[in-house]
Chains A and B, each alone.
Chain A
Amino acid sequence: DVKVTQSSRYLVKRTGEKVFLECVQDMDHENMFWYRQDPGLGLRLIYFSYDVKMKEKGDIPEGYSVSREKKERFSLILESASTNQTSMYLCASSLYRGLRYGYTFGSGTRLTVV
């Protein structure tokens, strides 16, 4: 089975800190995604990457950046964490466009910014 592993399940950071969320997939998928999920707002796409060193903004990229230096790893960076970035962060990957075969999600990182 494809695995998408997120480095931390729970994380608590202080306002203004630089935060790195790491995601690794083990099935050579081209595409990787970062979503955040908030009550009442559902899942919203932050950034995605369709190849190494390639990235595209999603619906809510402000306050975030990403890095994809290797195919299996996609990092989400909060440049200066703020309390409104407290959320559940979900990483996903997909083969090709993910249209026929589906996306695989990690278990999520629950980030609290205090």
Chain B
Amino acid sequence: DAKTTQPNSMESNEEEPVHLPCNHSTISGTDYIHWYRQLPSQGPEYVIHGLTSNVNNRMASLAIAEDRKSSTLILHRATLRDAAVYYCILRDVNSGGSNYKLTFGKGTLLTVNP
């Protein structure tokens, strides 16, 4: 899988927007961009994914650069419950076999201040 780069940590204040960046300069045309988060003492949780266009769902928005070499996960109003490690992962839609696995990097630890 192509590699992603994320900041180790970020801080935000409650009820403010948060923009979590991810760089993926070696992304291929068939790589989907997935975001997961892991709350303390929980398993990872799917957040959102996209290929080329910006995406919105009830949890977050995903903004994808026009050249697809970077993306940003946007939490519109951070709450204390959004404090988690956020992982940006690329998955090739054409891969199979052992490439079924998700490969997690270190992610970004988001701290939300009250």
Contacts and interface: CB of A to CB of B under 8 A. Distances in A.
B48 to A, nearest CB: 9
A102 B49 contact: yes
Contacts of A106: 43
A48 B106 contact: no
- Interface residues on chain A, size class: 20 to 34
B100 A92 contact: no
B96 A97 contact: yes
Contacts of B105: 42
Interface in A60-114: 90-92, 94, 97-100, 102-108
- Interface residues on chain B, size class: 20 to 34
A48 B93 CA distance: 18
Nearest to B45: A105
B53 interface: no
B42 A98 contact: no
A40 to B, nearest CB: 9
Interface of B: 32, 34, 36, 41-46, 49, 91-93, 95-98, 100-106
15 contacts: A33-B100, A42-B105, A43-B102, A48-B101, A56-B97, A58-B98, A90-B44, A98-B91, A99-B92, A100-B32, A103-B36, A103-B46, A104-B46, A105-B45, A107-B43
Interface of A: 4, 31, 33, 42-43, 45, 48, 50, 56, 58-59, 90-92, 94, 97-100, 102-108
